[in-house]
Amino acid sequence: MTEEIKDPNQLDMFAGVLLTANQQEKVNTYIENCKKNSEYIQKKHLNIVGLLLMNGFCKDTHFEESCKTTIETRTVKLGYTYNNTDFETEVTAEYSQSNLYLLGQSFDSYKGELKPSKFYFDVEKDKIQCGSITEQYRFYKPRTLLEKLQRHNENAVYRFEEHQKKTNLEKNTIEKYTKLYPNATITAKDDWSKYGGSYRVVEVKFESGSYIQFKLDTYNLKEYLYKKHDAEFEKLTAEELLDRFSKQ
């Protein structure tokens, strides 16, 4: 391997270390590439913003954008490790960072909150992909994606409002039966069915073990009878049941 002779007039700003001509060339190439990459990022950013605006997206309503360009001094590692030519040095170059997000609403079912959200998206030619707001993980025409974003936001608001209705109805139902039957235990719990999935019920249970469960109807804002259990009835013998039925 030919030993690189350092130019005594070539001074690196990193800890006063002198750079060889070959090392300086790598620094210059790095600076040039940073400049090209920065310009590419800026151009791509402007093209995407233009694509969104041209297809009905409104800045700060449907999307958020910023593109920051800075001149920074960073410590970088250049060269190649495999042939033992890598080295670290401080380099001042141009850098750009593009930030683009779709804006919308998300409903947090765990916390029961509706909150502003940012959605990352990707662009391929003149189509956009955003898996956070679409059923399929694919690229869509911008106007189609805008419609899906609006539907996503409307659905988030709807789910939040339904949660609020259910929460308030549950609270009011518990308060209602607590006042009517102070000796009963009133609780809200989760239930599940094969066809209906999971849902909430309010149970009014007495010391005897008998109880009534109510399902919550958020459409009509009222509760309706779902299950009933008579603990005393379960204790009756066959003869006692027959005698009871005969008197009905």
Provide the 8-state DSSP code for 210. -
Quote the pLDDT of residue 6. Answer: 40
Distance CA 46, CA 69 (A): 13
Q: What is the Cα 98 distance to its own chain's centre?
A: 20
Q: Where are the alpha helices (DSSP H) in 8-105?
A: 21-54
Q: How far apart are CA 86 and CA 68, in angstroms?
A: 30
Residues 248, 235: Cα–Cα separation, whole Å: 19
Question: Are β-strands 113-119 and 122-124 bridged in parallel, bridged antiparallel, or unpaired?
Answer: unpaired
| pLDDT at res. 16 | 57
Per-residue pLDDT tens over the stretch 37-93: 999 999 999 999 999 999 999 999 999 999 999 999 999 999 888 888 899 999 999
For 17, list phi and psi in degrees, rounded to 5. -80, 135
From CA 126, how far away is CA 197, in angstroms rounded? 41
- Cα–Cα distance between 49 and 118 in angstroms, integer? 16
Which stretches in the chain have pLDDT values below 50?
Answer: 1-14
Give me the residue spans of the domains in the chain. 6-159, 181-246
What was the pLDDT predicted at 11? 46
